[in-house]
Structure 1
Amino acid sequence: MLEEIRTIIVEDDPMTRKIIADFVNRTDSLKLTAQFSNAVEAANWLQKSHTDLLLLDIEMPDMNGFELLKVMETAPSVIVLSGKDRYAVHAFDMAVDDFIVKPVRYPRFLQAVQRIQHSRAAVTQLAEKPKPSRLFVKVGSEYLGVPFESIFLVESQDDYVKIHTESRRYTIYSTLKGILAKLPPAEFIRIHRSYIVRLPEIEGIEENTVKVRQHVLPVGGTFRANLLKALALE
């Protein structure tokens, strides 16, 4: 079953607005929830309501399409519909999903909608994909799954990395950068060219050092700002 995409139209020309509304109603995956002849009314509606897709004209009185995009708190998917292709570069700079030059024909409209459908489906699949809960390390001839929550420190020594856990320490052939890429970024942070720590394990921070369990570790100058931000200290 196709996902129903809630759609609004913001277009000041009545004939164009009617044509686009007909296109929306012909497209099974779209549901027309509102249409506006000016961006001010649309902005007020969007403060109280949510849409998945915005079909947007650029040149309108009082507030143009670009100004509407700037005041929106959350950005839905956006297809710009304009009679002037010179607006395309600025539109894509504002991260719109597609730009269609008027007069809009249904095949081109449908192509833009299908691109958005595919993009939304990919995001949904990524969100539904099970997230790993372990770091797999090679010990001898086998790979062992080390739970993320058991790791409190990762230390680089020459061509090897030492992974400190509650119960044991693993020494593997790897780089600190390679290990960091496999760890959840919300939990782990690099504090020095030689150290990664698990944020909930930080017991204290003083000048250029942090305390993690029994370890007092240096904080590199280039990593300090990110650490303070992660700890909500700046």
Structure 2
Amino acid sequence: MEHKIRCIIVDDEPIAIDYLSDYVQKTPQLQLVGTFNRAKEAYESVAKGNVDLLFLDIHMPGLSGLDFLRTLTNPPQVVLTTAYSEYALESYSLNVTDYLLKPIGFERFAQAINKVAKALNQGNKLQEEPKRDYLFLKSGYKSVKVPIGDILYVESMKVYVIFHTVEGLQFVKNERLKHVEALLKEHNFIRVHKSFMVSMDHITAFYGNTIEIGETEIPLGRSYREEILRILDWKG
């Protein structure tokens, strides 16, 4: 990589911040751009897109590390740093890059950084590819070219997803919603519920915990609400 990996540390334990900061200083490819004692304090830095890597503790006062991670629509690479091993499975469902158990040795820290660097390099290669504005989705015995701009929202049904379009058509794909999210987030789609992603371009109204797209009502999940309100600049 040509530029250094910009990272922040979010941890309510001063001693953890101290030794992680020391590890970062000892790693030439890293650049420490901030440390925070609370997850909410780190939001602005992450939201601005000025962070490539987030070292995130899980147990913190107020907003936990995992809940904070769920609020991010476009998170950077994430390395969880915690004394609790029981959250490992849940954390990987949130696409974290690595999971470090405290106390963290420098060798294990370095292994995590190698994973981060590899993931970032792969991401850079993908960004160099032309951006597609369509998907081929299955309809009967053939695959149909569907403009992404025609997709209103995507609904998860466990092991497959349904794409709802402006023409009232539905296309089913054998895929997990988190994989679809990674593909569509660069096309102005946002996750509003564990089972729904919506196109911000097609949102027509909002009230309470409901988003309207035309006459369709879509639930707004509690853990997504604060972030969605911030993105769309809604008040109340």
CA-CA distance at 1:195 after TM superposition: 7.0
* Alpha-carbon distance change, 72 to 197 in structure 1, aligned in 2, over 3 angstroms: closer
Match of 2:121 in 1: 121
CA-CA distance at 1:58 after TM superposition: 0.9
Write the deviation string for residues 54-102 of structure 1: whole angstroms up to 9, x where unpaired: 0011111111111211222321110001111112122112221100100
TM-score by length of 1: 0.57
Match of 2:30 in 1: 30
CA-CA distance at 1:191 after TM superposition: 4.5
TM-score by length of 2: 0.57
Write the deviation string for residues 171-214 of structure 1: whole angstroms up to 9, x where unpaired: xxxxxxxxxxxxx7816555542574686xxxxxxxxxxxxxxx
Match of 2:69 in 1: 69
**Distance across 2 between alignment mates of 1:43 and 1:196:** 40
* Alpha-carbon distance change, 225 to 8 in structure 1, aligned in 2, over 3 angstroms: same
Alpha-carbon contact 1:82-1:102 (below 8 Å) kept: yes
Larger RCO (alpha carbons 8 Å, 6+ apart): 2
- What is the letter of the counterpart of residue 134 of structure 2? A
Aligned positions of 1:218-229 closer than 5 A: 224-226=169-171
**Distance across 1 between alignment mates of 2:17 and 2:105:** 13
Instruction: Point out 4+ residue stretches in structure 1 off by more than 4 angstroms.
Output: 187-192, 194-199
Match of 1:18 in 2: 18
Match of 1:46 in 2: 46
* Alpha-carbon distance change, 85 to 126 in structure 1, aligned in 2, over 3 angstroms: same
Alpha-carbon contact 2:46-2:76 (below 8 Å) kept: no
The answer to whether the aligner puts 1:193 opposite 2:138 as a matched pair is: no
CA-CA distance at 1:226 after TM superposition: 2.9
Q: Which protein is bigger by CA-based radius of gyration?
A: 1
Write the deviation string for residues 4-49 of structure 1: whole angstroms up to 9, x where unpaired: 1110000111111010001111111111011001112112443445
Identity %: 29
Alpha-carbon contact 2:134-2:145 (below 8 Å) kept: no
- What is the letter of the counterpart of residue 65 of structure 1? G
Gapped regions of structure 1 (runs ≥ 5): 132-183, 200-222
Alpha-carbon contact 1:191-1:224 (below 8 Å) kept: no
Write the deviation string for residues 130-168 of structure 1: whole angstroms up to 9, x where unpaired: 79xxxxxxxxxxxxxxxxxxxxxxxxxxxxxxxxxxxxx
Alpha-carbon contact 1:2-1:29 (below 8 Å) kept: no
**Distance across 1 between alignment mates of 2:44 and 2:146:** 44
Give the CA RMSD over aligned residues: 3.2
* Alpha-carbon distance change, 126 to 16 in structure 1, aligned in 2, over 3 angstroms: same
Aligned positions of 1:67-216 closer than 5 A: 67-128=67-128, 186=134, 191-193=139-141, 196=144
